[in-house]
Amino acid sequence: MTISILKITLHLPWVHSLKEKRMVVKSICVKVKNRFNVSAAEVENQDIHQSAVLGFAGIAGDSAMADSIIDQIITFVEENTEGDIVRIERDIFRE
C-alpha cells in the first residue's frame, strides 16, 4: 500500500473576498475528489483572499500508480483554474 500526499499553493489574483475564494476552492476540491477518488481540502491560508493551499491525499497499490495520480491531479488543477500554481509539495509513503 502506498499513501500519496500533494500540497498545491495557488495565487488567485482576481479574488477580492473570502466568499469568492471559497467558491473557487470548493469547486476545485469537489472536481478533484470526484475524478481521482482522493481526499481534498484547503489546508492553509484560509483567511488570505488571494492565496489558497490545497491538500490532497490518496491510497494506491504501488508508488508508480501514486506518482501517476499526483501528476494527473497537478495537470487537472492547472487546466481547471485561472490561478497560478506557486508551489507544489509531494510525498509518497510506502508501507
Domain range annotation of the chain: 2-94
Dist CA 52 CA 48 (whole Å): 8
Dist CA 30 CA 95 (whole Å): 28
Residue 66: name the closest of 78, 75, 57 by CA: 57
Domain 2-94 CATH assignment equals 3.30.70.1120:
yes
Dist CA 89 CA 73 (whole Å): 12
- From first to last of its 95 residues, the chain has per-residue pLDDT tens of 899 999 999 999 988 888 988 998 999 999 999 999 999 999 988 888 899 999 999 999 888 899 999 999 999 999 988 889 999 999 999 87
Q: What DSSP character marks residue 21?
A: H
